[in-house]
Amino acid sequence: MTTTKLTLIASLSLIALAAAPAHADLRGGVSPTPTDAAGAAPAAPAPLTKPAAAPMPGSAILAAAAVAKPASAASAGAQAGPAYSLPQLLDLAQSTNKGVAAAEAGVDAASAAISSARAYPNPQVEVMYGRLSGKQPGVTSGNAPSYAVVQKLDYPHQRSLREAMATRGLESSQAMRQGFRADLAARVKTAYYEVLRRESELHAAEEDLAMMRQIHSRARLRVEVGEAPRYELIKAETELLASQKSQQTAGLRVNQAKAALRQQVGGAMPGQYALAGALGQSPDVPPLPVLRDTMTAGNAELVQRRMELERAQLGVNYQKSLRWPEVAVRASTDRQPDNNVSQIGLVLTIPLWDRRSGPVGEATAHATQARSALEAREFELMQELEAAYRQYEINQAQVTALESGIVREAESALGVAESAYRFGERGILDYLDAQRVLRGARNELIAAQYDLQVAAIQIEKLMSTAPGATAAPGLQPTSTIEQK
């Protein structure tokens, strides 16, 4: 009996060793990338595939299939609906978001203000009715109406100042609209990559759950044949439950992120949808000096504040021009019973008591305030650009380190621990510790890729790039990192 039992254990171990594949890596699960004769890894990794499951007894296969059904159904439900790419989401947001319509209305109002500035003053018409009553002999009595027309005249430089002020107001409204569109695009992009991040975490959690099912089935087999103590099965069951919980939490976070994306885009999106794209796509950000020059010239907020400063300076000149006497032409006629009196002349409003010192001082203070606000905001945006660029460099270095070194080392360590566990050289704790290290490194890589996207989006927002606008030099999307 003892010989038969040992033979059975050895046979099962050999079968599991022959059929078990090497451990999968982060992006889908192949063995570590082979090296050439010189020991250097290839430049690009080979296409990645998911690991095949190790042989399990019939009862273990049924139990794993029963647990896998809810996860498969959840994944199928998450992919239901149309698939949207990032350009489609940006176009949809720009066409359906109510804030864009409000910004367009502000531009229309500023355009109408130019027409108001170009308009000529309306004439004034006076109509008076009276009656002439003679109190001396020979004086004819009767109706004596009076008519007068007054037309105010504009100085040419005042009209040009009003038109220039209205034009600066239009340019300020256009810059405000561009800034809102850039901010909306940044919010949509952030929510889009948040969904991709949560989907990557869900995919990783599903891979962890599949691996834990294999570990659980192998531990149960070892316990049933007496090769390992029952503690290993209890520990495997605990880790399996934890993996199931993580997978369920990741699925709920995917739904939460999709709801947030739909909120940013607008109600035109369906309740169930999918996304086309990868978390690893990142723009190639140009050097910091180029970004500084581009932001200084094209940032929507800075352009808006410059237009407001120019408008305030023109307002000072306009208030000073109002110190000139206002001129109006007046023509009148008085109809009397026995004669008519017609007159024409000028009406001057002499600024004798009010030299408009108050309005001029107020306009000067507004101009000073606008200049100070522009300089302060320009300095703040420069610091924000510096911080965003440094954060981009940090995240890029983290992604490179995690993808090329840490994750691969964790995969190799897990492969060694798995082999040692199969041969009985190590216990299940070493195997689970290696899996936890890989899980942590993989989650750090996903988080670093998302942070890299957020830093790039912040830089694009500072450049005020939005759909329909000219992108900053070098800020064109390029695929630099692949993430399945």
Is 310 domain-assigned?
A: yes
Is 170 domain-assigned?
A: yes
- Exposed, middle or buried: residue 203 (CB in 10 Å: 0-12, 13-18, 19+)? buried
The CA–CA distances, whole Å, from 455 to 209, 295, 387, 462 equal 32, 16, 9, 11
Give buried/exposed letters for 204-237 (b at 16+ CB in 10 A, else e): bbbbbbbbbbbbbbbbbbbbeeebbeeebbebbe
Q: How confident is the model over 67-87, as a mean pLDDT?
A: 56
- Alpha-carbon span 412 to 54, nearest angstrom: 18
Question: Which of 408 and 397 is assigned the larger pLDDT?
Answer: 397
Handedness of CA 199, 48, 436, 243 (dihedral sign): positive
Is 16 domain-assigned?
A: no
Is 15 domain-assigned?
A: no
Is 36 domain-assigned?
A: no
Say which range, 15-24, 114-123, 201-210, has the weakest mean pLDDT.
15-24
Q: How do residues 296-338 score in pLDDT, each as one tens digit? A: 988 999 999 999 999 999 999 999 988 888 899 999 998 877 7
Q: What is the DSSP letter of 33?
A: P
Per-residue pLDDT for 7 more than 60? no
Is the pTM of the predicted complex or chain greater than 0.85? no
Is 5 domain-assigned?
A: no
Domain that residue 334 falls in: 21-30+55-479
pLDDT at 466: 58
The CA–CA distances, whole Å, from 367 to 65, 103, 302, 361 equal 73, 25, 15, 10
- Alpha-carbon span 249 to 191, nearest angstrom: 18
The angle subtended at Cα 333 by Cα 327 and Cα 334, nearest 5°, is 130
The CATH number that applies at residue 166 is: 1.20.1600.10
- Alpha-carbon span 451 to 190, nearest angstrom: 10
Is 8 domain-assigned?
A: no
Number of domains observed in the structure of the chain: 1
Per-residue pLDDT for 25 more than 50? no
- Alpha-carbon span 107 to 362, nearest angstrom: 26
Q: How do residues 215-274 score in pLDDT, each as one tens digit? A: 888 788 878 887 777 877 888 888 889 889 989 999 999 999 999 999 888 877 888 888
Residues in the chain: 484
Q: How confident is the model at residue 98 (pLDDT cuts 50, 70, 90)?
A: confident
Q: How confident is the model at residue 476 (pLDDT cuts 50, 70, 90)?
A: very low
User: Cβ–Cβ contacts within 10 Å for residue 394, how many?
Assistant: 14
Is 271 domain-assigned?
A: yes
